[in-house]
């Protein structure tokens, strides 16, 4: 194990981000050059040494991927980075994504967290993978032999990519279809550059191409290629289309100019950040911005708006302000309800809790100028407005970041006639197979909106199921079942 | 050289065929003059898979035994599947003369080359270390089984198989006990195939980045071995008992019971015969309050776990009316008399730490630990860095000095000796129930019958899966059997021999749910012990670092910083036991029992017919566990009468009445009585009466001063407290002054004896074993094992046999004559002075020899003077006559650890520093 007394000798220490004043002027990741991994190297050995190598590693259970966290903490502590990278890849296809984007349920479950601050697991992960790329250890892993089986994967988000990489490496011929012009799904256009630079996606895609995965971008399956055609061309089809139907707020004034879904706003900003020009771009520049929704997407909007030069940014949340530390209702090792301050929150903006939007108010030209809200409290039948607390906030750009309700009702789903559940998610059996034989579903499309780490875990598990369906053999690891959910009280 | 490979595609049939061929090949080789046979599984490939090395070895071994050619050859086993101590032990136990674990050796070489091992370990060192540790491990296993030489262990087959089909055993493991049937060669071949396919995957494509499986044998891993305590069960158990939510508790038990069915326990394979009796309304079932009285917590010593954790369990059990257990570590006086924090069960184990008259007098139950479920056959060790000053005080030892509990009780070498100890302890506290704790294994029923005949009030059948993270890994996994087997055997044996009605049967070993308790009751248990589960309730998260003093939840540590992290509360533990009892009630109602008493021993209410849903479970036959012997009319399936300990015949009744003035008015009493060797355990009950009235302080020295004339029986003067002086004129049997607790015992030959005292043995073996205080003067020689585990007595003797002062932790032994060998083995405290010592007889492992100082010379002169005065010793007289010269003939045996701590203490006192801190600093190095 790592140092048995390590957790007694050192406190938790994270990577130091660049000063706010500097980083809001560019789109790069918030950590100094040459990136978070290298920034961490001077401290990470000691941090990894805080791992207690538990008899029951709750981190390893808290991680949907089943990352072998105690193993690679130990290996980092022993300076065996190459083996650490191997162990990391044993359960995770894309640690450079999760090491940057995952909200780290592992750390919430870390046993050190019971009486102290948890091990910086996510930082250890990103330090390993950045070093592995730097050292050239992340080499393509093409299969030694090909099977004669073909698989179509629809959607190139983390679930789709994980399915594709696993099945390609198992010897199947895999084509990934993406309706956008570039591969990556939410990773590409949903995640702002300051959280993860897109070069990390490109680097991984290079590996996948070298392994033999085929990518078809700009193809809206269901239109140029029908579900029937897909089924006839491929031995198996995996739907990894995500849960991209965003929750709406159909209050009066919704139609006003300047009221947008986050996912209309963020992709444009991402394109511009990468040097494209977007005519008629929705931008926060010089505007009073209101973000509705207090989650990660809201924080992404927040950081983006600041970088675009917003006049002010306010984030509204209907829930009450969470406690500074773990709420009683979410005891260790569950993922806690607590106040989270992301890098974007450090950069400014105001967070307003326990409020609900009543109306969007427009000017004469049909542009939004303000938003009327009311304070709410939890009543017997959900949130109830508190009388006399209505007020107006100036708002020239309103962004909805209230989560996603499920997959979009697309022609593809209709053509394939896959069964949907009451929430509109695609129904799967224990083996990720939909109601249509040979058609599988992975990621948010089946699970509903979730975390990137669940998407990768589903992708890996679905790949194992597809491989078994195609070959009858049990070769690939399956970290989660479709019905698995995070541990809660 | 014989290849232990077979055609894997051919399955069990191919395996059987190949084993037959191999046996023939070996026979032919012997005919052709071969005298060493190498069984090798090297060169396996995509078609040929290795035969499991144990099957291969034992098959050949038994074939040759049957052919009567076995002694002509030696078997050398070269196998890739050998990597643990247990594997080597099995191979040797089934006939291998030499083992080459080539793959394990190559693996550690590789690890060393890659630098994953300690930086300065070369590949050669790594291999040497592996061989050394495997060798030492096998020695340890042998010692646990009481075998001294590899020659005796080879082919000795002291193993029990669980889950092996009888025809397989008969043919390949002839003579091995396998009570429940199980798998045949088909299933073994299937297991081989599954491993083989990982090395040679179909289609030739292996998963990327997946080299070796994670295993998860000792630490839980998602893809690894199942464990009953996994993240979810730990969480649900902690959360339910902390938030008082029975609904969450049911989620916990639901998951444990379900896990159990995945072949993790035998009880997981049972189902209840519901409907065999009409259910009863739950209101008619005995209440929670009466069920919880049958519960106890396991023996975990104060020292191994923190004061906070230890007291939490005690407080909870006292509130419930159940019983907590001191473990082998004594109990602080402030807890001894605190009805809230005391532990009702006082354990007496081989180390006898803190076992005084006071400790025993204040017990409800006294438990003799013959073995421990987590590590049967082994002793214990509290490393020096856990012996903080407060722990040392409780244990009558020295802070910072490690403590060893020896594997055996030095006063038990036979069932008669055990009966004697039971009798001693009963005398030390006639109101207490005496327990004997055994570990489930083949034959435990016979031992339990002996224990019942030896008048134990309770017998505890402990399962093999005790939880301490401090136990050696070979023991955690491979020693002892499940309680289901041991309990069923015990119940059946006791019933058959008409011994069941006089003894309470208790069981423990990973009891976690109400279902576990009810199954144990149906198999014959009437009381139930829990250890791991209540610790988990108290915050344990199964770190398995109990031996490192780094427990992050403040349980298995004495470090004050870590203890601050402790979050357990007695209320949580109370909730746990009440929830368990509630579940028990629910099951009883369903099964149609109104009380546990009604249910005990009704094994016929368990069913094993339910198809066991596992590919390896097909051949199991659990029906032997469920057999209920035919009972005579009126025979009870549980305890109904109390044991007859025969205390009314004790000489002590006379002594107590003679001592009335002392007992009632603290007045001095002088008396002289005759003693015979039928008078066992003399003075102990008298001592108990004094301790009961006057506490641990006892009475002033010599208040009760009794001279006894004659030949004393065993355990003369056992546990005698301060205030009692027993002068024996004659001789004594074994166990003189066992556990002496402040009293004085003086032995001299009969005044009319014509022999020379110092040339004769006047007392038997194991004198002053586990004594904690007082004085002992013996004119004449003592037998073997003098002053073993002495922690406070000043003892003088005129010659000893072998193994004197073994494991001593305190006090002083003065030996004025010849000694046997192996003096001071494992001695970590106290000091021994020997006249004209032959240094070659000292075990130098933990001690060194010193000259005595002038100061010590004076002290010694005082002791020798007293010896002369009390016993009329001629040896002492001669020495004192010319002390200035004779003092130089003494050697001092000094434990190194003890010396280091004394030095640290002296330095701290000199510098005005905190003495405790200085000591622990020295201990932590």
pLDDT over 70 at B468, yes or no? no
pLDDT in the model for residue B533:
95
Give per-residue burial for B860-881: e unless 16+ CB within 10 Å, then b. bbebbebbbebbebebbeebbe
Do A255 and A395 have their domain in common? yes
Search chain B and give the residue with CA nearest A50.
B552
Mean pLDDT of B741-767: 96
Q: Do B205 and A89 touch (CB under 8 A)?
A: no
**Contact, B50 vs B224, CB < 8 A?**
no
Question: Per-residue confidence at A212, pLDDT binned at 50, 70, 90?
Answer: very high
Search chain B and give the residue with CA nearest A6.
B550
Q: Is residue B822 part of a domain?
A: yes
- CA–chain centroid gap for A61, Å, is 19
Q: Is residue B353 part of a domain?
A: yes
Distance CA B598, CA B617 (A): 32
pLDDT in the model for residue B613:
66
Domains identified in chain B, total number: 3
Give the distance from residue A439's alpha carbon to the nearest chain B alpha carbon, in angstroms: 23
Q: Is residue B439 part of a domain?
A: yes
Q: Is residue A185 part of a domain?
A: yes
Range from A153-162, B115-124, B447-456 carrying the lowest mean pLDDT: B115-124
Search chain A and give the residue with CA nearest B240.
A489
Q: Is residue A168 part of a domain?
A: yes
Do A378 and A453 have their domain in common? no
Search chain A and give the residue with CA nearest B199.
A475
Do B178 and B82 have their domain in common? yes
Do B22 and B144 have their domain in common? yes
Which of A402, A433, A460 is where one domain is finished?
A402
Check CB contact of B218 with chain A, cutoff 8 Å.
yes
Round to the nearest angstrom and report the end-to-end CA distance of chain A.
31
Give the distance from residue B277's alpha carbon to the nearest chain A alpha carbon, in angstroms: 37
Do B486 and B392 have their domain in common? yes
Helix (H) or strand (E) holding B527: strand B527-530
Do B445 and B296 have their domain in common? yes
| Percentage of chain A exceeding pLDDT 90 | 96
Question: Per-residue confidence at A160, pLDDT binned at 50, 70, 90?
Answer: very high
Do A439 and A361 have their domain in common? no
Q: Hey, of B213, B240, B535, B552, which one would you mutate to test binding to chain A, going by the most A CBs within 10 A of its CB?
A: B552
Question: Per-residue confidence at B609, pLDDT binned at 50, 70, 90?
Answer: low
Search chain A and give the residue with CA nearest B248.
A489
Do B51 and B166 have their domain in common? yes
> In Å, what is the CA distance from B527 to each residue of B295, B343, B435, B461, B512?
6, 17, 12, 10, 14
Residue corresponding to tokens 């051919």: B10
Do B714 and B593 have their domain in common? no
Do A378 and A365 have their domain in common? yes
Check CB contact of B214 with chain A, cutoff 8 Å.
yes
Q: Is residue B258 part of a domain?
A: no
Q: Report pLDDT digits (tens) over A389-445.
A: 999 999 999 999 999 999 999 999 999 999 999 999 999 999 999 999 999 999 999
Do A398 and A257 have their domain in common? yes
pLDDT in the model for residue B477:
79
**Contact, A62 vs A484, CB < 8 A?**
no
Assess whether the previous peptide bond of B109 is cis (omega < 30° from 0): no
* Closest in B204, B206, B541 to A56, CB measured: B541
pLDDT in the model for residue B925:
57
Chain A positions in Cβ-Cβ contact with residue B217 (cut-off 8 Å): none
Where residue B483 sits, what CATH number does that domain have?
3.20.20.70
Check CB contact of B122 with chain A, cutoff 8 Å.
no
Q: Which domain holds residue B102?
A: 2-204
Q: Do A8 and B204 touch (CB under 8 A)?
A: no
Q: Is residue A354 part of a domain?
A: yes
Where residue B700 sits, what CATH number does that domain have?
2.160.20.60
pLDDT over 80 at A2, yes or no? no
Q: Is residue A166 part of a domain?
A: yes
Q: Do A487 and B231 touch (CB under 8 A)?
A: yes
Which of A402, A422, A441 is where one domain is finished?
A402
pLDDT in the model for residue A268:
97
pLDDT over 90 at B842, yes or no? yes
Q: Is residue B629 part of a domain?
A: no
pLDDT in the model for residue B275:
85
Do B793 and B886 have their domain in common? yes
Q: In what order do the strands lie in the sheet with A350-352?
A: A259-261, A397-400, A288-292, A312-316, A350-352
Give the distance from residue B704's alpha carbon to the nearest chain A alpha carbon, in angstroms: 54
Check CB contact of A365 with chain B, cutoff 8 Å.
no
Q: Which domain holds residue A391?
A: 249-402
pLDDT over 80 at A473, yes or no? yes
Where residue A238 sits, what CATH number does that domain have?
3.50.50.60
Helix (H) or strand (E) holding B711: strand B704-712
Mean pLDDT of B770-790: 97
Specify which residues B832 forms β-bridges with.
B813, B893
The mean pLDDT value of chain A amounts to 95
Q: Is residue A486 part of a domain?
A: no
Q: Is residue B633 part of a domain?
A: no
pLDDT over 70 at A144, yes or no? yes
Check CB contact of A217 with chain B, cutoff 8 Å.
no
Search chain A and give the residue with CA nearest B119.
A78
Do B599 and B671 have their domain in common? no
Q: Do B248 and A489 touch (CB under 8 A)?
A: yes
C-alpha dihedral sign at B463, B467, B472, B478: positive
Which pair of structure tokens corresponds to residue A40? 């961490």
Search chain A and give the residue with CA nearest B207.
A476
pLDDT over 90 at A33, yes or no? no
Give the distance from residue B202's alpha carbon to the nearest chain A alpha carbon, in angstroms: 7
Q: Three-state secondary structure along B816-847?
A: CCCCCCCECCCCCEEEEEEECCCHHHECCCCE
Closest CA to B503 of B584, B440, B463, B447: B447
Q: Is residue B269 part of a domain?
A: no
Specify which residues A356 forms β-bridges with.
A374
pLDDT in the model for residue B835:
97
Q: Do A60 and B221 touch (CB under 8 A)?
A: yes
Check CB contact of B200 with chain A, cutoff 8 Å.
no
Which pair of structure tokens corresponds to residue A250? 């159909």
Distance CA B466, CA A316 (A): 54
* Closest in B203, B207, B539 to A477, CB measured: B207
Do A261 and A387 have their domain in common? yes
Q: Is residue B309 part of a domain?
A: yes
Do B691 and B590 have their domain in common? no
Q: Do A169 and B544 touch (CB under 8 A)?
A: no
pLDDT in the model for residue A1:
53
Q: Hey, of A8, A50, A56, which one would you mutate to test binding to chain B, going by the most B CBs within 10 A of its CB?
A: A56
Do A394 and A431 have their domain in common? no
* Closest in B207, B220, B239 to A475, CB measured: B207
Chain A positions in Cβ-Cβ contact with residue B223 (cut-off 8 Å): 66, 477
Q: Is B621 helix (H, G, I), strand (E, B) or coil?
A: coil
Do A307 and A282 have their domain in common? yes
pLDDT in the model for residue A95:
98
| Percentage of chain B exceeding pLDDT 90 | 76
**Contact, A367 vs A398, CB < 8 A?**
no
Check CB contact of A19 with chain B, cutoff 8 Å.
no
pLDDT in the model for residue B466:
64
* Window A:318-347, CB contacts with B under 8 Å: 331, 333-334
Do B197 and B286 have their domain in common? no
Do B185 and B295 have their domain in common? no
Q: Report pLDDT digits (tens) over B728-744.
A: 999 999 999 999 999 99
**Contact, B483 vs B440, CB < 8 A?**
yes
Q: Report pLDDT digits (tens) over B181-228.
A: 999 999 999 999 999 998 888 777 888 888 888 888 888 999 888 888
Q: Do B204 and A112 touch (CB under 8 A)?
A: no
Which of A387, A402, A417 is where one domain is finished?
A402
* Window A:78-107, CB contacts with B under 8 Å: 78-80, 83, 86, 89-90
Check CB contact of A488 with chain B, cutoff 8 Å.
no
* Window A:142-171, CB contacts with B under 8 Å: 143-145, 147, 169-171
Q: Is residue A119 part of a domain?
A: yes
Q: Do B221 and A68 touch (CB under 8 A)?
A: yes
Check CB contact of B210 with chain A, cutoff 8 Å.
yes
At how many degrees (to 10) do helices B570-591 and B307-320 cross? 40
Q: Is residue A288 part of a domain?
A: yes
Where residue A66 sits, what CATH number does that domain have?
1.10.1060.10
* Window A:28-87, CB contacts with B under 8 Å: 52-58, 60-62, 66, 68, 70-71, 75, 78-80, 83, 86
Range from A298-302, B144-148, B193-197 carrying the lowest mean pLDDT: B144-148
Chain B positions in Cβ-Cβ contact with residue A79 (cut-off 8 Å): 115
Q: Are strands B160-164 and B177-183 parallel, antiparallel or unpaired?
A: parallel
Specify which residues B809 forms β-bridges with.
B829
Do A398 and A409 have their domain in common? no
Residue corresponding to tokens 């039948």: A381
pLDDT in the model for residue B231:
95
Size of interface A-B (CB pairs under 8 A): 135
Q: Hey, of A55, A142, A170, which one would you mutate to test binding to chain B, going by the most B CBs within 10 A of its CB?
A: A55
pLDDT in the model for residue B470:
66
Distance CA B146, CA A75 (A): 41
pLDDT over 70 at B831, yes or no? yes
Do A155 and A34 have their domain in common? no
Do A411 and A350 have their domain in common? no
At how many degrees (to 10) do helices B246-259 and B570-591 cross? 70
Specify which residues A420 forms β-bridges with.
A426
pLDDT over 90 at A284, yes or no? yes
> The complex's ipTM?
0.94
Q: Report pLDDT digits (tens) over B27-82.
A: 999 999 999 999 999 999 999 999 999 999 999 999 999 999 999 999 999 999 99
Check CB contact of B203 with chain A, cutoff 8 Å.
yes
pLDDT in the model for residue B469:
62
* Closest in A7, A53, A333 to B235, CB measured: A333
**DSSP letter string, B228-251:** SS-HHHHHHHHHHHHHT-HHHHHH
Do A392 and A423 have their domain in common? no
Q: Are strands A397-400 and A391-394 parallel, antiparallel or unpaired?
A: unpaired
Q: Report pLDDT digits (tens) over B337-389.
A: 999 999 999 999 988 989 999 999 999 999 999 988 777 777 777 888 888 88
Q: Do B222 and A70 touch (CB under 8 A)?
A: no
Distance CA A309, CA A357 (A): 24
Closest CA to B639 of B452, B854, B826: B452
Q: Report pLDDT digits (tens) over B85-94.
A: 999 999 999 9
Chain A positions in Cβ-Cβ contact with residue B232 (cut-off 8 Å): 61, 487
Check CB contact of B190 with chain A, cutoff 8 Å.
no
Distance CA B817, CA B836 (A): 7
- CA torsion, ordered B826, B831, B836, B838, to nearest 10 deg: 10
Search chain B and give the residue with CA nearest A112.
B552
Higher pLDDT among residues B439 and B292, named by residue: B292
Domains identified in chain A, total number: 3
Do B496 and B587 have their domain in common? yes
Assess whether the previous peptide bond of A333 is cis (omega < 30° from 0): yes
**Contact, B467 vs B510, CB < 8 A?**
yes
* Closest in A56, A147, A169 to B230, CB measured: A56
Check CB contact of B222 with chain A, cutoff 8 Å.
yes
Range from B164-168, B222-226, B353-357, B476-480 carrying the lowest mean pLDDT: B476-480
pLDDT over 70 at A227, yes or no? yes
Q: Is residue A140 part of a domain?
A: no
Q: Report pLDDT digits (tens) over B633-649.
A: 888 999 999 999 999 99
Mean pLDDT of B485-509: 95
- CA–chain centroid gap for B191, Å, is 34
């Amino acid at each position: 194990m790592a140092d048995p007394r390590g957790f007694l000798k050192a406190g938790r220490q994270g990577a130091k981000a660049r000063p706010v004043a500097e980083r809001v002027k560019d789109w790069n990741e918030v950590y100094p050059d040459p990136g978070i991994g290298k920034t961490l190297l001077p401290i990470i050995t000691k941090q990894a040494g805080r791992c207690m190598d538990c008899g029951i590693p709750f981190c390893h259970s808290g991680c949907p991927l089943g990352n072998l966290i105690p193993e690679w903490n130990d290996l980092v502590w022993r300076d065996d980075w190459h083996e650490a990278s191997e162990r990391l890849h044993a359960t995770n296809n894309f640690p450079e994504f999760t090491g940057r984007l995952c909200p780290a349920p592992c750390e919430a479950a870390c046993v050190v967290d019971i009486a102290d601050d948890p091990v910086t697991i996510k930082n250890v992960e990103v330090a390993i993978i950045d070093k592995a790329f730097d050292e050239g250890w992340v080499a393509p892993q093409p299969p030694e032999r090909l099977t004669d089986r073909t698989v179509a994967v629809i959607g190139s988000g983390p679930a789709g990519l994980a399915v594709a990489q696993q099945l390609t490496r198992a010897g199947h011929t895999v084509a990934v279809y993406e309706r956008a012009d570039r591969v990556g799904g939410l990773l590409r256009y949903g995640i702002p550059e300051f959280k993860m630079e897109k070069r990390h996606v490109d680097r991984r895609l290079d590996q996948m191409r070298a392994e033999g995965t085929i990518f078809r971008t700009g193809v809206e399956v269901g239109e140029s290629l029908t579900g029937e055609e897909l089924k006839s061309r491929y031995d198996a089809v995996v739907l990894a289309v995500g849960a991209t139907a965003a929750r709406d707020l159909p209050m009066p004034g919704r139609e006003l100019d300047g009221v947008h879904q986050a996912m209309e706003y963020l992709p444009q900003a991402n394109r511009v950040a990468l040097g494209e020009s977007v005519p008629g771009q929705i931008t926060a520049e010089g505007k009073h911005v209101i973000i509705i929704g207090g989650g990660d997407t809201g924080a992404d909007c927040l950081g983006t708006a600041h970088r675009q030069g917003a006049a002010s940014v306010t984030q509204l949340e209907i829930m009450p302000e969470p406690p500074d530390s773990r709420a009683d209702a979410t005891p260790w090792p569950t993922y806690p309800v607590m106040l989270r301050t992301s890098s974007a929150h450090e950069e400014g903006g105001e967070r307003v809790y326990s409020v609900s939007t009543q109306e969007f108010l427009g000017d004469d030209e049909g542009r939004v100028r303000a938003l009327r809200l009311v304070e709410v409290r939890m009543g017997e039948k959900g949130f109830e407005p508190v009388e006399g607390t209505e007020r107006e906030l100036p708002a020239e750009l309103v962004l909805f970041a209230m989560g996603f309700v499920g997959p979009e009702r697309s022609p593809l789903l209709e053509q394939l006639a896959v069964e949907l559940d009451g929430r509109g998610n695609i129904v799967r059996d224990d083996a990720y197979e939909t109601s249509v034989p040979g058609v599988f579903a992975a990621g948010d499309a089946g699970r509903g909106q979730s975390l990137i780490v669940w998407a990768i875990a589903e992708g890996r598990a679905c790949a194992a199921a597809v491989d078994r369906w195609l070959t009858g053999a049990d070769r690939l690891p399956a970290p989660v079942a479709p019905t698995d959910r995070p541990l809660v009280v | 050289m014989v290849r232990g490979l077979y055609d894997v595609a051919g399955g069990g049939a191919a395996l059987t065929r190949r084993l037959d061929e191999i046996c023939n090949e070996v026979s032919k080789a012997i005919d052709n003059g071969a005298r060493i046979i190498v069984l090798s599984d090297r060169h396996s490939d995509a078609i040929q898979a290795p035969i499991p090395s144990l099957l291969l070895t034992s098959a050949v071994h038994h074939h040759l035994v049957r052919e009567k050619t076995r002694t002509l050859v030696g078997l050398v086993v070269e196998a890739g599947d050998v990597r643990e101590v247990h594997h080597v032990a099995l191979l040797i136990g089934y006939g291998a003369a030499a083992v080459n674990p080539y793959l394990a050796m190559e693996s550690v070489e590789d690890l060393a080359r890659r630098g994953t091992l300690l930086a300065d370990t070369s590949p050669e060192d790594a291999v040497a270390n592996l061989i050394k540790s495997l060798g030492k491990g096998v020695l340890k296993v042998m010692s646990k089984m009481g075998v001294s030489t590899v020659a005796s262990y080879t082919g000795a087959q002291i193993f029990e198989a669980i889950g092996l089909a009888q025809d397989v055993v008969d043919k390949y493991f002839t003579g091995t006990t396998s009570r429940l049937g199980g798998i045949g060669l088909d299933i073994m071949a299937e297991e081989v195939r599954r491993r083989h396919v990982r090395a040679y995957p179909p289609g030739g494509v292996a998963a990327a980045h997946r080299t070796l499986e994670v295993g998860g044998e000792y630490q839980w891993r998602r893809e690894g071995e199942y464990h009953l305590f996994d993240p979810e069960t730990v969480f649900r158990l902690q959360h339910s008992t902390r938030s008082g939510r029975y609904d969450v508790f049911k989620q916990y038990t639901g998951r444990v019971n379900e896990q159990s069915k995945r072949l993790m326990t035998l009880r997981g394979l049972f189902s209840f015969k519901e409907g065999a009796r009409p259910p009863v309304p739950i209101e008619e079932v005995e209440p929670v309050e009466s069920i919880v009285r049958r519960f106890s917590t396991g023996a975990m010593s104060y020292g191994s776990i923190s004061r906070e954790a230890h007291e939490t369990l005690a407080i909870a059990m006292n509130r419930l009316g159940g019983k907590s257990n001191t473990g082998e570590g004594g109990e602080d006086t402030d807890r001894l008399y605190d009805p809230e924090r005391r532990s009702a069960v006082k354990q007496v184990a081989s180390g006898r730490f803190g076992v005084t008259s006071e400790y025993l007098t204040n017990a409800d139950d006294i438990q003799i630990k013959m073995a421990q479920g987590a590590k049967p056959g082994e002793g214990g060790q509290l490393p020096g860095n856990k012996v903080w000053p407060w722990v040392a005080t409780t244990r009558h030892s020295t802070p910072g000095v490690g403590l060893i509990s020896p594997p055996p009780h030095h006063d038990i070498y036979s069932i008669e000796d055990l009966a004697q100890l039971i009798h001693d302890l009963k005398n030390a506290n006639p109101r207490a129930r005496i327990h004997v704790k055994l570990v489930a294994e083949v034959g435990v029923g016979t031992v339990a019958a002996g224990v019942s005949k030896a008048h134990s009030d309770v017998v505890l059948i402990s399962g093999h899966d005790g939880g301490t993270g401090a136990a050696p890994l070979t023991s955690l996994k491979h020693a002892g059997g499940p309680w289901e087997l041991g309990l069923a055997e015990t119940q059946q044996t006791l019933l058959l021999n008409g011994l069941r009605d006089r003894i309470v049967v208790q069981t423990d070993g990973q009891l976690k749910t109400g279902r576990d308790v009810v199954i144990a009751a149906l198999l014959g248990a009437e009381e139930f012990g829990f250890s791991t589960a209540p610790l988990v309730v108290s915050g344990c998260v199964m770190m398995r670092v109990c031996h490192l003093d780094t427990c992050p939840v403040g349980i298995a540590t004495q470090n004050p910083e870590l203890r601050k992290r402790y979050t357990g509360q007695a209320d949580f533990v109370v909730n746990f036991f009440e929830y368990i009892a509630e579940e028990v009630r629910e099951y009883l109602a369903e099964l149609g029992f109104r009380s546990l008493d009604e249910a005990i021993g009704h094994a016929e209410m368990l069913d094993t017919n339910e198809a066991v849903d596992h590919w390896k479970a097909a051949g199991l036959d659990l029906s032997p566990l469920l057999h209920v012997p035919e009972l005579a009319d009126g025979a009870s399936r549980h305890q109904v009468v109390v044991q007859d300990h025969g205390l009314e015949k004790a000489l002590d009744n006379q002594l107590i009445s003679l001592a009335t003035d002392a007992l009632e008015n603290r007045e001095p009493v002088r008396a002289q009585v005759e003693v015979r060797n039928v008078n066992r355990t003399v003075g102990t009950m008298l001592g108990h009466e004094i301790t009961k009235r006057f506490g641990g302080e006892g009475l002033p020295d010599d208040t009760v001063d009794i001279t006894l004339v004659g030949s004393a029986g065993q355990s003369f003067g056992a546990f005698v407290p301060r205030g009692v002086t027993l002068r024996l004129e004659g001789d004594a049997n074994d166990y003189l002054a066992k556990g002496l607790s402040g009293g004085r015992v003086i032995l001299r030959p009969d005044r009319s004896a014509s022999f020379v005292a110092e040339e004769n043995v006047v007392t038997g073996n194991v004198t002053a074993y586990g004594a904690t205080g007082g004085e002992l003067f013996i004119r004449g020689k003592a037998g073997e094992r003098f002053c073993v585990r002495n922690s406070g007595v000043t003892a003088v003797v005129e010659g000893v046999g072998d193994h004197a002062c073994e494991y001593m932790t305190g006090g002083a032994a003065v030996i004025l004559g010849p000694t046997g060998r192996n003096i001071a083995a494992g001695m970590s405290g106290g000091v021994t002075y020997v006249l004209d010592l032959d240094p070659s007889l000292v075990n130098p492992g933990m001690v060194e020899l010193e000259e005595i100082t002038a100061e010590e010379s004076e002290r010694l002169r005082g002791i020798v003077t007293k010896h002369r005065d009390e016993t009329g010793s001629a040896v002492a007289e001669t020495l004192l006559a010319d002390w200035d010269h004779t003092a130089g003939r003494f050697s001092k045996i000094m434990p190194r650890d003890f010396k280091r701590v004394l030095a640290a203490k002296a330095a701290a006192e000199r510098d005005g520093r905190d003495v405790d801190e200085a000591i622990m600093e020295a201990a932590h190095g």
